[in-house]
Amino acid sequence: MHSVTFVLLRPPIGDLEPTIDALVKPHQRDDVVFDAKKRWDYWTIGDGNITDPETSAALGLTADEDYGPNVCFVSRIGGRCTPASIVTPDGTWHDLFDFGWTFRERDTPAGRDAYARWCAHAAEVLAAHHDCVAVEIDTHS
């Protein structure tokens, strides 16, 4: 399953790929040893759900075809996209699945309730990190 993940970075953000990788790597699955706490097996750049030209310009990423469309100051995201997971600058992983949501139950009352609780939590996490830059990546699990 592919999921939209926001990696939150405090400016100055530096070189994006190694910075992102360092934050998400502790949550990567191992092919040999199963650990239910591990979240993904590979990541790629996002699909531009949070495109914000002002953020791209402020960060000098306007010409960057990969990261330019996938960065947004958290304070500018508003309600346009709720990711399936968020990684905060301290490396903490927040995930939709931790709220009881499952793909199979997504259209049930329990699934809708889990999603609503996740959305409220995600909004709290983003509000607490309003001074960060969100980088959208796609994580595969």
- Encode pLDDT of 2-61 as tens digits: 889 999 999 999 899 999 999 999 988 876 566 567 777 889 999 999 999 999 999 999
Q: Which of 34, 60, 38, 46 is nearest to 4 (CA)?
A: 46
Question: What letter represents residue 31's amino acid?
Answer: D
Residue 34 confidence (pLDDT) = 63
* CA 93 – CA 59 distance, rounded (Å): 24
pLDDT value of residue 28: 87
Q: Does the pLDDT value for residue 135 go beyond 70? A: yes
Give the whole-angstrom CA distance, residue 114 versus residue 120. Answer: 10
- Indicate the domain borders of the chain: 2-140
CA distances from 71 to 26, 37, 92, 101, 115 (A): 22, 27, 19, 26, 24
Q: Tell me: cis bond preceding 12? Omega within 30 of 0 counts.
A: yes
Tell me how many degrees the CA angle 118-120-123 measures, rounded to the nearest 5: 105
Average pLDDT over residues 97-123: 90
Element (H, E) at 3: strand 2-9
**pLDDT tens-digit readout, 72-109:** 999 999 887 899 999 999 999 999 989 988 878 888 99
18 and 96 in contact (C-beta within 8 Å)?
no
Q: Please check the confidence at residue 62 and state whether its pLDDT lies above 80.
A: yes
Q: Furthest-apart CA pair in the chain: how many Å?
A: 44
What's the CA gap between 82 and 101, in Å, rounded? Answer: 14
| Whether the predicted pLDDT of 130 surpasses 80 | yes
- Indicate the pTM of the whole model: 0.92
